[in-house]
Structure formats: C-alpha cells, structure tokens
Structure 1
Amino acid sequence: MNTPDTQSLDLASLLCSRLCHDLLSPVGALTNGLELLTSETDPEMRQRCFELLEQSARTSADKLKFFRLAFGAAGGFGETIAVAEPKALIDALVGANSRVTVNWALGSEALPKAAVKVLLNLALIGIDALVRGGTLDIGAEESSGATEIALRAAGPKIAFDETVGKALSGALSAADLTSRTAPAWMVSQLAAAHGGGVQVHRGEDALIMGAVLPGS
C-alpha cells in the first residue's frame, strides 16, 4: 500500500524519468557532434558540426528551463509568476519545430505558481499530441479569485494516450503511473489541491483541455 510519502517519491522519480527521456536526444546529439569534430578535417563539415552543437545545446537548455518550472520549484519566492516566463518557455520548446504554431490569449500579466505549473504541463501534453504538427491555442486568465486555463491542440493526427486522459481527470491510480502519465496526474492533483479540476475532450482532429483553480 502506498503512503503519501511513497507516492511523492514515486511521482518525483517518474518526473525525473520523463525529464531524462526528453533530454536524451539533444544531449546525445551533443555527444555525437563532439565525436565528429575530433575526426573531421573538412572546414565546411566542421562548421556544420558547430551549428549542430549550438542547436543541441540550445535545445537542451530550453528543455531544462521548461522542466525546472513545470516539475520543480523554480519561479522565485513570490506567490505569482509573470505570464511572460511560461510563454517564453513554451515558445522556446516548440521553436525548433516549424510544424507547430502556438497562439496565445492571456488575460492576466501574472498567474499563481500552481496555475503556471498546470499551464506548462498541459502545454507539454498538447505538444506531444501534435505528432504531425498543427496549432496549439493557449488561453489563461484570473477572474473572481479563480484561474482558468484552456488549451486546444489541433492537427491532422492527434496522438493522445487514454491513460493520460485518465490521469488528468484523477481516475488513474498513483500505483499505475508511468513517466508518460505522471505530469498529467500531477496536474490533476494540483488542481484538486486548490479546489478545482481538469477537463479533457479528444476529437478526431483536436484535443481540448481545461483547468479551473479557484483557490490558486
């Protein structure tokens, strides 16, 4: 039987696994690029290697910054975070993917920390769903003491694991979590802890997610 302490440890472990999985590709590209430089003598090819190394380093840094705020304790000591910060992190995360376009509708200049974590993790789920590209529409605002967040991922093919949907709705047991479903489960727990909840609807060519955090 899992206790709250062991559940927290298991969740932290799974989130770390997700972070490592997402960093494996750009870090591996850095390693490959450095190995090529040791044997490559052609000036044009060496320049190409440097360009690839720069791109991989930038991608690694962008992902680390994203996960630091989405999973970790970043954001300073204040109760809110300027919306410009998560916006920049999400834009950077999809910056190298020309097939995905992000549209923003932000009605507040700052959001509570819990809401920012929910926003980032829902965006991560939306980006993962756009395997063939598409648009990611993101909206967030504070109204009457509650934070409302809405995301719509639309594209020619939506890849969405139903277990992620169960985790978002809180219907997935903590014992059944994986590194893929852990971020979604964390979102549901954050929303519930602030008296709110998460809704998700998957259509043929769109994934719609919404969260309300009344006490955030």
Structure 2
Amino acid sequence: MSGPSSPGPAPDTLELAALLCSRVCHDLISPVGAIVNGLEVLDDNPKPDDREFALDLIRKSARTASARLQFCRLAFGAAGSAGAQIDVGDAQTMARGHLEDDKTRIAWNLPREFLPKNKVKLLLNMMVIAQQTIPRGGVLTVDPVGTGEAGGFRVAATGLNVRMPQAIADLLSSGPTGSVDAHAVQPYYTRLLAQACGLNVVLAAEGDAVVVTAS
C-alpha cells in the first residue's frame, strides 16, 4: 500500500461488515487451500515420501488456520458479550500464535490484567499494522501507555528494511478517509476501535523503528 489516500465517503455499516469478512477470508484462504492440496495428494495414492509430505503440509496448515481463526475471532469478531472484559494474557497467546514465526518475534511488556473488549481488539489490530512495516521480519515490542482502563498501548516495530506506510498512517488519522477497500479496512477499523475507546491512534517513524501508539 503506497501513496496518499484521497478523501472519500466512509463505508456504511453493511459495507464495513462485508469488508471485514473479506479481510478474514483473505487471511484464511492460504492455509485452507494448502490443506485441500494436501488432501488431493493423499487421494492420488502417493508414494510413502509424498504421503508423509502431504500429511506434514496438512498438519502445519491446520495449525496455521486454527491460530488465524482464533486471532481473527478476537481482533475482528464479537468474542464475548457487549461490555465484556478480556484477559490480556489470552490476547498475548493469540498474538504469538498468529504473528510470531521464524522471522518475527514479539517482546510483550504488558501486565496480565482484564481490559475492555474493544481495547484488547485495538491492541491486536495495532500489532497487525506494526507487523506490516517489517516485511522481512524483526521484533514487535509491546508496551503500555499509562495504566488501567484509561491507558493505551505502544507497539514498536524494528527490523531489516523497516518501512513507513504513509497510506496506513493517513487511514489511522482523524482526518477525512480515503477509499476504503478490503486491503484498507483493517487500519480503518483500528481507527474506529481507538475512537470507541476514547483514544487516538498514530503511526509514525521513530529513529530506526516504526511505532503505532494509542493514547
């Protein structure tokens, strides 16, 4: 995503729901497709080596799909009744399952406590944005800003070839929104979550890092 966004109408409720569904489907299509490919290999009565390869692909892809589903359920879905509070420790587990891999590591410095559902959703969405700034991997450092329900979060991304996506920064800002499609809906949704929590969310370069802050 590059270039400044042009002002345009914000999506209505139905369009926002549809765009978020498209985003979730985009996250899941790859591991689910890999599972289907592995099953097709098994259906062809493969050699023992090919069979083991297919089973390994299915196992890994099923774990990936499960981790992404759990993360998306909390980051984008209802995940509890209105006004519910969520254990930040559970959010940490889901974030590690979805965002950590051989290239990306999470340094989690938040205390374990219960926070309002929208605030936890905001945190997870901030981490997704921060991860997008380190396409070759690196470290996501998660810190509190303030304390308790009035506090916010700071997610700093450091890594090789860290990049500052200005279009995402524009979508997060409180100014006019540009065109919001399935690729842009996640940062726009993050902005809405921050507003619902009484916070402002900002994406900015800080030295060798790109930082997402909600305060």
Q: Could you tell me the TM-score, scaled by structure 1's length?
A: 0.87
Q: Give the aligned residue type for 2:150.
A: A
Per the alignment, in what secondary structure is the counterpart of residue 12 of structure 2? helix
Q: Work out whether residues 70 and 120 of structure 1, in 8 Å CA contact, stay in contact via their aligned partners in 2.
A: yes
Q: Work out whether residues 80 and 110 of structure 1, in 8 Å CA contact, stay in contact via their aligned partners in 2.
A: yes
For the pair 1:8 / 2:49, whether they are aligned, the reply is no
Give how far 1:141 is off: 6.2
Give how far 1:25 is off: 0.9
- CA 1:144–1:51 in structure 2 vs 1: closer, same or farther (change >3 Å)? closer
Give how far 1:144 is off: 6.2
- 2:214 maps to 211
- CA 1:187–1:161 in structure 2 vs 1: closer, same or farther (change >3 Å)? same
Q: Work out whether residues 89 and 112 of structure 2, in 8 Å CA contact, stay in contact via their aligned partners in 1.
A: no
- 1:43 maps to 48
Q: Percent identity?
A: 34
- 2:95 maps to 90
Of 38, 44, 54, the residue aligned with 1:33 is 38
Aligned counterparts of 1:26 and 1:170: Cα–Cα separation in 2: 35
Q: Work out whether residues 152 and 199 of structure 2, in 8 Å CA contact, stay in contact via their aligned partners in 1.
A: no
Q: Give the aligned residue type for 2:186.
A: P
Q: Give the aligned residue type for 1:171.
A: G
Q: Work out whether residues 108 and 140 of structure 1, in 8 Å CA contact, stay in contact via their aligned partners in 2.
A: no
Of 101, 109, 117, the residue aligned with 2:113 is 109
CA offset digits 1:114-139 (Å, max 9, x no partner): 11011010111112222101001112
Of 44, 69, 76, the residue aligned with 2:74 is 69
For the pair 1:121 / 2:125, whether they are aligned, the reply is yes
Runs (4+) off by over 3 Å: 75-78
Note the residue ranges of structure 2 that are not aligned, 5 or more in a row. Answer: 1-7
Pairwise CA RMSD: 2.2
Paired residues for 1:146-165 under 5 Å: 146-165=150-169
Q: Give the aligned residue type for 1:11.
A: L
Aligned counterparts of 2:149 and 2:39: Cα–Cα separation in 1: 52
- 2:189 maps to 186
Aligned counterparts of 1:141 and 1:28: Cα–Cα separation in 2: 40
- RCO comparison, higher one (Cα < 8 Å, 6+): 2
Q: Could you tell me the TM-score, scaled by structure 2's length?
A: 0.87
Aligned counterparts of 2:149 and 2:27: Cα–Cα separation in 1: 35
- 1:56 maps to 61
